[in-house]
Amino acid sequence: MRNYGSEKKYYNEIKGVNSRLDELQAAFLTIKLKALDQNNIKRQKIAKFMTMDFRM
């Protein structure tokens, strides 16, 4: 467990990033997060339209 669940030290199956948000980034993302569901619905509608257009 000392190696965060890895059996072999310094071996990771999935690459990750260790990063931190500063206050400015967090402020922007907080605003964008409020519109996330709405933006995802819009993207899904566009994707559905594009998929239907290619089938014809």
In order, the DSSP letters of 17-38 are: ------HHHHHHHHHHHHTHHH
Report, as ranges of residue numbers, the positions in the chain whose pLDDT lies below 50. Answer: 1
Structure token digits, residue 12: 């990771």
C-alpha radius of gyration, the chain, whole number: 20
Question: Which pLDDT belongs to residue 55?
Answer: 66
pLDDT value of residue 1? 46
Q: Taking the mean position of all CA atoms in its chain, how far away is CA 47? A: 18
Q: How far is CA 20 from the centre of its chain?
A: 15
Residue pLDDT, tens place only, 5-14 = 677 777 777 7
